Structure formats: structure tokens, C-alpha cells
Structure 1
Amino acid sequence: MRDQFTAEGAIVLDNAFGYWVARVYLASRAEMYRRFRAHGVEITPEQWMVLVRLWEQEGVTQTHLAGRTFRDVPTMSRILALMERDGLVARREDPTDRRARLVYLTARGRHLQKALSSEARAMVGELLSGIPEDDLLVTRRTLQRILANIEPER
């Protein structure tokens, strides 16, 4: 991976680690849209991450969700506003803190779990097809170490 720079200091973009991470992200994002759209669901990957976190635990604050999905609070507020508009979540005042709002799934948001999770599992299966498990584990550990180098205090 260090071959992304020539001896003269030029960048070889096709050999750059970040280039391939970005390409995989963009391609998988487009594939997710396509697959979810086939189920009649128009959600962004950011909204998908919120749904997954709420399937794990609902009734949490917007601030908690922002932290668990790596978004800032204003961005999370906009994501939730769109999800609320689309009938996926409901925000309610926190009875213990009137300034905070708790986020809950609606019946529609809960109902999507089975179909979308199955579709996500199928997509990941296809994305990882033919790649040995050991290679995948090394890739995940490597990405985690790179992130730790970028964000050492986390």
C-alpha cells in the first residue's frame, strides 16, 4: 500500500488506500439504495444506521444516537426529521429532561427490520463472496488500527 507514492513524490491514485475505501463505500451505498428501493423503501445509509441502532435500543436521546452513528447533533436532528416525516420514527419529550427528545421506532420502522436486515445480509454475503474469513478479519483489524491512528483518544 505504500506504493501509492512514486520515488519522485507523485501520487498513484489507483494504488491509494483511501481511494479504494471510498470506491467500496460509494459502490456499496449505491447497491444498498437499489436493494432497499426494491422493497419500496427510500432510505439513506445514514438513516439505515439510525434504524439499526434503534432496533438495538429505542427510547434514546438524539445526542446518544448522534454519538452511536458518528454524526453531530444538528445533522442527527435533520436525519431524524426526515425519518419522522417518512413515518419511521417518532420523537417525544424526555420526561426527565424537557430539553431532550427521545427517539422511538414507529410500527413501520419496526416492521422494516426483517426485510431490510435480510436484504443487508444478502448484500454483504455477495460483497464478501470468495474472500476468505481470515482476510476479512485482517481487513477489519487493519481498518480499526488505521482509525485508532487517526483518532487515538477514542
Structure 2
Amino acid sequence: METIFTTENLYNLLSGRIPSAFNRALLNQFKANGINLTKEQWSILAVLWKKDGCSQQVLADETYRDKPSITRLIDHLEKEGLAERRPDKKDRRLNLIFLTEQGRSLEEGAMKVVDQTVNSAVRDIDPEVIQLVRDTFIRIYNNLETKK
């Protein structure tokens, strides 16, 4: 395949250089705004803000994490008083994860910071270019997922 990118440049792009920079910026903005969350905690809370009372498996699927990672993150969210496990009334083998009032109260501030960080990251980039990049990354993701 002929490309204007070197293999090293493509690897850096695909392996997380941009996500790492974004995550670092997001963490810095959380701290600057007095929001005591990690990017990982925020990713779990963001799912719960949309689907409160979901299973750990849903959280794992939605955040692309394995079950042990989700378990540790939920343990920490419980310790911080942001979420709680409750037995599923239909299947007592399952725990459902619910936000606490404190966890719910973080949504507006955290999402405002996320929106500001995203807007800062894409400033001065034409929306059509952003759409092209989005579509390209979706195709790359789908190419990798179909190889499994």
C-alpha cells in the first residue's frame, strides 16, 4: 500500500498518541475545574448517566474494558460514593450498577469539561475533515474487529 505516512507515523496515530494527549488534556481540565475523576471513572459514569442500573457486562462492552477492570473501577466508584451495586431482581446472580445522588450530581460539570476539551481539540478543523477522520477511524475499527 502506498501512503504518505511512514509505518512509524501510522503506528503512532493508530496506537494511541492522540487519545493519550486527549486523555491527558481531559484529566488536566477535570483537575482545573475541581472534578476529582480519572478518565476511566468518567467513562463508566458517562455510561451510567445514559443507562443507570446496567450490568457490569454492559459497562465492559460500552467502555471496551475487560471484566476485572470494570470490577476494580466499580469498587473505586463505590468507595468514592459515586455508584453502588444492587442485586438484579430478575437474576440474583447479577449485580446492576446504579449511580448515587453524588454520582448523578457530577454529570453536568463533567460533561461541560468534556465538551470544552473536545471543542478545544478540534478547533480550527473543518467539520467535513472531522467527519472524514471519524468515518476513517470507524472503517479501521471495523477492519480490525472483523479479523477476530
Query: By the TM > 0.5 criterion, same fold?
Result: yes
Instruction: Verify: 1:92 aligned to 2:86, yes or no.
Output: yes
Give SS of 1:97's match.
coil
The gaps in structure 1 that reach 5 residues or longer are 6-10
Instruction: Verify: 1:68 aligned to 2:62, yes or no.
Output: yes
Greater relative contact order (Cα 8 A, min sep 6): structure 1 or 2?
A: 2
Q: Is 1:33–1:42's contact at 8 Å kept on the other side of the alignment? A: no
Give SS of 1:17's match.
helix
Q: Which residue of 1 aligns with 2:45?
A: 51
Q: What is the alpha-carbon distance in structure 2 between the residues aligned to residue 75 and residue 18 of structure 1?
A: 25
Q: What is the alpha-carbon distance in structure 1 between the residues aligned to residue 42 and residue 3 of structure 2?
A: 34
Instruction: Verify: 1:31 aligned to 2:25, yes or no.
Output: yes
The partner residue of 1:20 within 1, 13, 16 is 13
Q: Is 1:93–1:102's contact at 8 Å kept on the other side of the alignment? A: yes
Give SS of 1:40's match.
coil
Aligned-pair distance for 1:68? Answer: 1.2
Which digits, 9 at most, give the CA deviation of each residue in 1:117-139, with x for residues without a partner?
11111111111000000000000
State the TM-score, normalizing by the size of structure 2: 0.90
Q: What is the alpha-carbon distance in structure 2 between the residues aligned to residue 61 and residue 26 of structure 1?
A: 28
Q: What is the alpha-carbon distance in structure 1 between the residues aligned to residue 60 and residue 141 of structure 2?
A: 18
Q: What is the alpha-carbon distance in structure 2 between the residues aligned to residue 96 and residue 153 of structure 1?
A: 36
Q: Which residue of 1 aligns with 2:108?
A: 114
State the TM-score, normalizing by the size of structure 1: 0.87
Q: Which residue of 1 aligns with 2:3?
A: 2
